[in-house]
Structure 1
Amino acid sequence: MKQQLVLVVLARLPAPGRCKRRLAVAIGALAAARVQAKLLAHTMATAKAWREISVNSTVLLAMGPAQGIGGLGLRMQRQFSRAFNSGASRVVLIGSDLPQLSVSDLANAYAHLDHCDLVLGPALDGGYWLVGLNRSNGSLFSGIDWGGAGVLTETIARANGIGLRAKLLPYRSDIDDVGDMAPWLDD
């Protein structure tokens, strides 16, 4: 049986007032939407480049209403369930706010899923920039305080509690507020 790799990009519409709300407080809704559009373009270009070198791979963009209703955990679980129910053997989910995202990040995540159940790309803010699974698990994302700084810690504890073997990728910084943009303002 062929291994089907699915990459899900979870993104907000790059429209003023609909994305990057914390960033918009400092730079305005229109500028924040422009940042979101650039980040989304980078993410999709990286996803396309990964797909071109990956056998039996699919990239799915879940933007806005396509994510369905509910909190982040429910929306993420929905995307994993859809992919696994469609025949995926390994699924990786990323957001669209990581300017450093590379093809090698994605390839490494899938490679680790050959030997572990869960892969997480930890973010400097206490969350994560990537999550991947090699099997569906409906309870991994429930009971997590998605707005807090302990998202990664809570997810790892949850994974350990349900018997998932996890691997961490390198820490990265995503863009949530104006302070997160400092490393990229000179580019």
Structure 2
Amino acid sequence: MTALAVIAKECIPGRVKTRLQPEFSAEEAAWIAAAALADTLGTVGALPSTRRILYFDGVAAPEGAAGWELLPQVGGSLDERIAWLFDAVDEPLLLLGMDTPHVDVRWFDPVFSGWSERNGDADAWFGPATDGGFWALGMREPAGALVRGVPMSTDRTGARQLERLTGAGMRVRLLPPLTDIDTAADVPAAARRSPALAELLRSLGTREFAS
């Protein structure tokens, strides 16, 4: 019994993936964000969750959200918005971002097989991002207080969040690290496991990226 949530924003040019510029235009960056979100929803949507929540900042939900429970994001900083969700859901919850469509869903088998003996009595799951943040956060007993106040979008965000979990006495199991789609250099590797993103890149033509 685990709820699944994806936190995302509406893919509007100039509002999403601005760090992909100047290699991509603002419009192309928005297309990349939309493709990443579509692939994320398509990939993780097949997981055996009890609820599928799109925690959304925007007006027009993506087509791939059909069948998902649309929950509008509250105002405030990112930590406050995430904390609100972890207070609002009263069952085990796994939260993912929209920037890792290349995730391997097999990693989640133990998360959705139960939160007791079968996965080592885990109280939390944590997916570190290679930039120092995190791409996944799960709690058996969701508690917004364990997120609220964590500084977001820094190279220490993941470490601070993990400290919050372990400091609360939680038994934390780690998911493999992933690289978010943050810069143009991150796009090709993600596209190799992201069909919509790969098709978009083909339509945009061949590009060179920094290694």
- TM-score band, normalised by the shorter chain? 0.7 to 0.9
Gaps of 5+ in 1: none
Give the match for residue 16 of structure 1: 13
Deviating more after overlay: 112-121 vs 153-162: 112-121
Q: Do 2:100 and 2:135's aligned partners in 1 also have CA atoms closer than 8 Å?
A: yes
Q: C-alpha separation between the residues in 2 aligned to 1:135 and 1:185?
A: 34
Superposition deviation, residue 70 in structure 1? 0.9
Residue equivalent to 2:135: 129
Contact 2:79 2:147 in 1 (8 A): yes
1:60 and 2:66 matched:
no
* Conserved? CA contact 2:179–2:186, under 8 Å: yes
User: What TM-score, normalized by structure 1, do the two folds share?
Assistant: 0.85
- In structure 2, do the counterparts of structure 1 residues 24 and 83 end up closer, same or farther at CA, with 3 Å as the change threshold? farther
State the superposition RMSD in angstroms.
1.9
**Counterpart position of 2:102:** 100
- Paired residue secondary structure (1:27): coil
Deviation, 1:109, is: 3.2
Do the aligned partners of residues 112 and 127 (structure 1) sit closer, same or farther apart at CA in structure 2, a change above 3 Å counting? farther
Deviations 1:31-56 (A, max 9, x none): 11100111111111112221xxx2x6
Q: Give the alignment's TM-score, normalised by structure 2.
A: 0.76
Cα pair 1:112 1:119 within 8 Å, conserved: no
Following superposition of structure 1 onto structure 2, how do residues 41-120 of structure 1 map, counting pairs within 5 Å? 41-50=38-47, 54=48, 57-65=50-58, 66-84=72-90, 88=91, 90-111=92-113, 113-114=115-116, 115-120=121-126
Greater fraction helix: 1
* CA offsets 1:86-129 (integer angstroms, 9 cap, x no match): xx2x1000011113123223333334743211110111111111
Where structure 2 has 5 or more consecutive residues not aligned to the other structure, the ranges are 59-71, 193-197, 199-211
Whole-angstrom CA distance in 2 between matches of 1:46 and 1:64: 21
Contact 1:119 1:166 (8 Å CA) reproduced: yes
- Structure 2 residue identity aligned to 1:100: H
**Which amino acid in the other structure matches residue 166 of structure 2?**
N
* CA deviation after TM superposition for structure 1 residue 174, in Å: 1.3
Cα displacement (A) at 1:185: 5.8
Q: Which stretches of structure 1, 4 residues or longer, exceed 2 Å deviation after superposition?
A: 105-114, 184-187
Using the alignment, how far apart are the partners of 1:120 and 1:144 within structure 2? 15
Larger gyration radius, structure 1 or structure 2: 2
